[in-house]
């Protein structure tokens, strides 16, 4: 069936579990790809250039901004992050669905720029639980964790304009909910009409 690729935009405060959720569903949908962002953040141990992120210097990032190479970009927790416009356009035109793990500022930019995106917000069960998760994953320094917790309240306020909210208390349940959103969106009438018109008089 010929249809435009769907943009799934997923945001959450750091530590809510959105990256794990995205990893969990990516293999379940053969037509779904994870969008690899560009960032000026230094790689964490185990992160691979081109798989987790494209790690670039500030100069290169700025050059890309000036050249209009980003579909959206934002400064998050003191680092820059952006989504390649070329990749996004290519996937959409080839009918490949993309999942973008990006912050609320970037999500807002995409919402105003592209039609038909699906906006999903992942919430932790509470701020206390968010702090506990950030502390136990020990990926970041105490200072970075503090900054991320302070930013969380502002980010959570943004959830009100998203299409779906998933509360990640029990991971299995949250993963099922995310899968259900994707399945439902595949059946959305507006996405199917053009391709079905070849077979049916609708």
Under the rule (CB under 6 A), what is the footprint of ligand 5GP? 14, 37, 41, 72, 74, 76-77, 81-83, 101-103, 105-106
Least gap, CB of 170 to ligand 5GP (angstroms): 22
Closer Cβ to ligand 5GP, 97 or 101, answer by number: 101
Least gap, CB of 13 to ligand 5GP (angstroms): 7
Instruction: Give the residue closest to ligand 5GP by C-beta.
Output: 106
Neighbours of 11 (CB within 10 A): 23
Closer Cβ to ligand 5GP, 41 or 111, answer by number: 41
Closer Cβ to ligand 5GP, 76 or 118, answer by number: 76
Closer Cβ to ligand 5GP, 7 or 102, answer by number: 102
User: Nearest 5°: phi and psi at 105?
Assistant: -60, -45
Q: Any residues with CB less than 8 A from the CB of 82 and at least 6 apart, and which?
A: 37, 38, 39, 61, 64, 65, 69, 70, 71, 72, 73, 74, 106
Closer Cβ to ligand 5GP, 5 or 73, answer by number: 73
Least gap, CB of 63 to ligand 5GP (angstroms): 16
Which long-range contacts does 177-185 make (Cβ < 8 Å, 24+ apart)?
178/10, 178/21, 178/24, 178/25, 178/120, 179/25, 179/28, 181/8, 181/118, 181/120, 182/8, 182/25, 182/29, 182/32, 182/97, 185/6, 185/8, 185/118
Least gap, CB of 73 to ligand 5GP (angstroms): 6
Terminal Cα-to-Cα distance of the chain (whole angstroms): 16
Least gap, CB of 31 to ligand 5GP (angstroms): 21
């Amino acid at each position: 069936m010929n249809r435009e690729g769907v943009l799934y935009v997923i945001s959450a405060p750091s530590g809510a579990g959105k990256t794990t959720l995205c990893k969990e569903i990516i293999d379940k949908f053969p037509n779904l790809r994870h969008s690899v962002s560009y960032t000026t953040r230094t790689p964490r141990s185990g992160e691979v250039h081109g798989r987790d992120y494209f790690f670039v210097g500030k100069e290169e990032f700025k050059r890309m901004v000036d050249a209009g190479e980003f579909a959206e970009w934002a400064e998050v927790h003191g680092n820059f992050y952006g989504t390649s416009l070329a990749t996004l356009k290519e996937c959409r035109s080839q009918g490949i669905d993309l999942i973008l793990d990006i912050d609320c500022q970037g999500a807002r930019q995409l919402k105003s720029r592209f039609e038909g995106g699906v906006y999903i917000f992942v919430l932790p069960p509470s701020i206390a639980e968010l702090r506990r998760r950030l502390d136990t994953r020990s990926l970041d320094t105490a200072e970075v964790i503090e900054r991320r917790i302070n930013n969380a309240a502002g980010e959570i306020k943004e959830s009100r304009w998203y299409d779906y909210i998933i509360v990640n208390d029990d991971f299995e349940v949250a993963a099922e909910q995310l899968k259900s959103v994707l399945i439902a969106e595949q059946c959305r009438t507006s996405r199917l009409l053009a391709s079905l018109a070849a077979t049916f008089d609708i």
